[in-house]
């Protein structure tokens, strides 16, 4: 190994993908049992490594020296070999500091709430204090060390301005979870979440709905990796490097989700997008039929609309947990808030519009098999579609033209 990452479970790590963009040398993921950490470090088989949970403190006794930052935090996430000796540092603090700057969070003189008491919470406390926070209060389910309970945080610190989540709450596969109700802190100015899978936790979605700048952990992960690579190679990357890699990763990991009226062309445009991008495409209506073992009209006729909607929610929860896809949804997929949330956690919702005269009723759409039903659906659902959508694309030409517009107008 030249460069790499050690930890106990690394199945969902993005680190190799980030470091592949920072240098030509291979970057390997190496899972180690607790009793294998010392032997690996003493083997000398690397130039530089990153360290993730649960070994950020485990490695410290085996190092020849650590940085002041790592000493203050009490954790090491980067180890470099220099002249045969091992030196530890902590680049998580730099990554979090850059994340806070990215969302415009000004901490100086303000109260900061840090959810959690694990290793990342210590990083957050260090970063907040370094940035001049008036107070950096850690929050735990039970009061311990210097932490307060969630109830105390909501009662005594309602004037907190910055919220940083360092707990795994909301992490895959429990994306529906949320650590707190941010309504408890009416003066919040920014929210940062260390969780990066999914791309947007419910905490981040809740903050954005209130107009509060908020970002998940993918940028923090990218920024700390850039800083680690600088330590590995003894160099400096251009200031825009972390932002560039973050946006590249986001485009790779984020789903493109097509929503809109029955007959608006979601399935045909998703097929065109698949041809143009090489990404996998899924159709939630097709998956529902596969799951039920019957057609959608049969489900409506034999089991009723509620059963269909329940199946739809199950399918959406399953497919939206994965990234890098094109997802064509049914016309009523966004009627349930839980579906919108699931799709937004890893996806960008594109409303596909089509002129009303081109929305043709068909017998295989139980709720849109006559023109009267189609017209009523359009009136009822238009506000729902617009509220859920991140952007709108009109299908006025070919499906390929609409697909190209989605690609060309995607945010950088």
CA Rg value for the chain: 24
Is residue 90 within 8 Å of 123, Cβ to Cβ? yes
- Retrieve residue 355's tokens: 């002129």
Which CATH number is correct for 94-216, 3.40.50.720, 1.20.1440.120, 3.50.50.60, 1.10.150.120? 3.40.50.720
Q: Model pTM?
A: 0.92
Segment-wise mean pLDDT, segments of 10 residues, the chain, 412 residues:
94 91 92 95 91 93 97 96 95 97 98 94 96 97 86 96 97 94 97 97 97 98 97 95 96 96 93 96 97 95 96 98 96 96 98 87 79 87 96 93 89 64
Which helix (DSSP H) or strand (DSSP E) does residue 394 occupy? Answer: strand 391-394
Q: Is 3-90+221-239 a domain of CATH 3.40.50.10860?
A: yes
CATH of domain 255-408: 3.40.50.300
The SS3 of residue 254 is coil
Exposed e or buried b per residue across 10-37, where buried means at least 16 C-beta atoms within 10 angstroms of its C-beta: beebbbbbbbeebeebebbbeebeeeeb
**Can you tell me the distance from the alpha carbon of 60 to that of 29, in angstroms, rounded to the nearest whole number?**
20
Exposed e or buried b per residue across 368-396, where buried means at least 16 C-beta atoms within 10 angstroms of its C-beta: beeeeebeebbeebeeebeebbeeebebe
How buried is 185 (Cβ within 10 angstroms: 0-12 exposed, 13-18 middle, 19+ buried)? buried
What pLDDT was estimated at residue 412? Answer: 57
**Domain boundaries along the sequence of the chain:** 3-90+221-239, 94-216, 255-408
Active site residues: 56
For residue 36, what are the contacts with CB-CB under 8 A and spacing of at least 6? Answer: none
Is residue 336 within 8 Å of 363, Cβ to Cβ? no
Does this chain's domain 3-90+221-239 share its CATH topology with 94-216? Answer: yes
Edge-first strand order for the sheet with 48-51 is 27-31, 3-7, 48-51, 78-82, 85-89, 65-66
């Amino acid at each position: 190994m030249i460069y790499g990452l050690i930890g106990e479970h690394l199945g969902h790590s993005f680190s190799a993908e980030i470091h592949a963009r920072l240098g030509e040398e291979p970057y390997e993921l190496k899972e180690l049992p607790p009793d294998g950490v010392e032997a690996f470090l003493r083997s000398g088989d690397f130039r530089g490594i990153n360290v993730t949970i649960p070994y950020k403190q485990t490695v410290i006794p085996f190092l020849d020296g650590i940085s002041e930052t790592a000493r203050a935090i009490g954790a090491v996430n980067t180890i470099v070999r220099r002249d045969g000796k091992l030196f530890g540092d902590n680049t998580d603090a730099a990554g979090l500091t850059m994340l806070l700057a990215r969302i415009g969070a000004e901490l100086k003189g303000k109260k900061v709430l840090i959810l959690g008491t694990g290793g990342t919470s210590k990083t957050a406390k260090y970063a907040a204090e370094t940035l001049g926070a008036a107070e950096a209060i850690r929050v735990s389910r039970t009061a311990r060390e210097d932490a307060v309970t969630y109830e105390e945080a909501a009662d005594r610190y309602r004037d907190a301005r910055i919220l940083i989540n360092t707990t795994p709450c909301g992490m895959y596969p429990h994306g529906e979870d949320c650590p707190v109700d941010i309504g408890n802190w009416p003066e919040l100015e920014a929210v940062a979440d260390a969780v990066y899978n999914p791309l947007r936790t419910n905490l981040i979605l809740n903050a954005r709905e209130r107009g509060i700048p908020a970002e998940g952990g993918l940028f923090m992960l990218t920024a700390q990796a850039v800083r680690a690579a600088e330590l590995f190679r003894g160099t400096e990357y251009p200031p825009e490097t972390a932002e560039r890699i973050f946006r590249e990763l986001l485009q790779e990991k984020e789903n493109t989700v097509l929503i809109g009226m029955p007959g608006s062309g979601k399935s045909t445009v998703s097929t065109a997008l698949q041809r143009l991008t090489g990404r996998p495409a899924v159709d939630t209506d097709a998956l529902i039929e596969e799951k039920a073992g019957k057609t959608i009209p049969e489900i409506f006729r034999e089991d009723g609309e509620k059963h269909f909607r329940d199946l739809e929610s199950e399918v959406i929860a399953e497919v939206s947990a994965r990234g890098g896809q094109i997802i064509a949804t049914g016309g009523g997929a966004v009627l349930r808030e839980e579906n919108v949330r699931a799709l937004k956690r890893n996806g960008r919702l594109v409303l596909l519009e089509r002129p009303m005269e081109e929305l043709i009723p068909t017998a295989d759409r139980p709720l849109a098999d006559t023109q009267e039903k189609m017209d009523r659906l359009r009136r009822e659902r238009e506000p729902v579609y617009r509220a859920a959508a991140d952007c709108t694309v009109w299908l006025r030409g070919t499906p390929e033209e609409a697909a190209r517009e989605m690609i060309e107008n995607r945010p950088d």
